[in-house]
Amino acid sequence: MDYGFLKIQQQGAITILMISAPKSLNALNSTILKELEHFVAHIDSSTRVLIITGDGEKSFVAGADISEMVNLNEQQGCDFGKLGARVFRAIETLPIPVIAAVNGFALGGGCELAMACDIRIASVKAKFGQPEVGLGIIPGFSGTYRLPKLIGQGYAKEMIYTGKVIRSDEALRIGLVNAIYPPEELMPKAIEMAQAMLAKAPVAIGLAKQSIGEGYDLDADEAIGLENLLFGKCFATHDQKEGMTAFLEKRDADFRGE
């Protein structure tokens, strides 16, 4: 499929996905969301790490497209929210690591997209916020669900209730991002992180992601039981045998993803 608003670059087993609608600061409309949905459903099978970023120096994703939302009725608003939530959930549950390289504004839907990724790193120029209440709406792409989980209810309620926009250093302080870098270092650092992941066992990373994602909302005994099950599955893989043998033989492991 030819995408009108997505730019895709392959660097070996790393895929870089750039959302490109610079005239609207990469704001998400239904067309872009459907393109994202198609991309995630058909991601290249060789991809072991996905990096998501925005086109241009100003914006990662500035939010959802207000011009598309302004005249929606109640059912249409609900359907638009379901579309965004469904796409972001598909990104969140990909069996590979997903890194958000936040290069500029990550507001509303942009903040929610970043939160659907496993790890967020940001430019020092990046800004984050859930300013929806200033538009008479609430976060609609799972922001009220993910933001409290990442930064705690107190900070999340303050951000959502006031609609305030925070700088990257504040996002780092409250745990919304893992690291901040000068703009010119952001993508090299994202690729460096991705390459560190490529050196590890891909099946194990996928199972670890599953254990974290599914276990988070379980009670302690259920979450630990899930981890035990997935831990056991590792021992049915080539990569476990190779990884442990390589360690004992003091050599680099040759992981196959199987």
Q: What is the pLDDT along the chain (258 residues), one digit of tens a residue?
A: 789 999 999 999 999 999 999 999 999 999 999 999 999 999 999 999 999 999 998 999 999 999 999 999 999 999 999 999 999 999 999 999 999 999 999 999 999 999 999 999 999 999 999 999 999 999 999 999 999 999 999 999 999 999 999 999 999 999 999 999 999 999 999 999 999 999 999 999 999 999 999 999 999 999 999 999 999 999 999 999 999 999 999 999 999 999
Catalytic residue among 132, 170, 222, 249: 132
d(CA 79, CA 86): 10
- CATH-assigned architecture of domain 6-198: Alpha-Beta Complex (3.90)
Tell me the two tokens of residue 118.
Answer: 């496993």
Query: For the whole model, what pTM was predicted?
Result: 0.96
pLDDT score recorded for residue 57: 87
Which SS3 state, helix, strand or coil, does residue 212 take? helix
CATH superfamily of 202-248: Lyase 2-enoyl-coa Hydratase, Chain  A, domain 2 (1.10.12.10)
207 and 230 Cβ atoms separated by less than 8 Å: yes
pLDDT score recorded for residue 119: 98
Please work out, in degrees rounded to the nearest 5, the angle formed at the alpha carbon of residue 61 by the alpha carbons of 94 and 48: 25
pLDDT score recorded for residue 77: 97
Query: Does the active-site annotation cover 242?
Result: no
Q: Do domains 6-198 and 202-248 have the same CATH topology?
A: no
Which SS3 state, helix, strand or coil, does residue 130 take? coil
Catalytic residue among 37, 68, 74, 112: 112
- What are φ and ψ of residue 89, in 5° steps? -65, -35
pLDDT score recorded for residue 46: 95
136 and 74 Cβ atoms separated by less than 8 Å: no
Buried b / exposed e across 37-60, counting CB within 10 Å, b at 16+? Answer: bebbeebeeeebbbbbbbbbeebb
110 and 60 Cβ atoms separated by less than 8 Å: yes
pLDDT score recorded for residue 1: 79
Residue 107 gets which letter from DSSP?
E
pLDDT score recorded for residue 120: 98
d(CA 80, CA 106): 19
pLDDT score recorded for residue 105: 98
CA distance to 176, 250, 254, 258, per residue, from 110 (Å): 13, 44, 37, 35
Query: Does the active-site annotation cover 132?
Result: yes
The H or E element containing residue 185 is: helix 183-198
Q: Where are the domains positioned within the chain?
A: 6-198, 202-248
**76 pairs with which residues across the strands?**
none
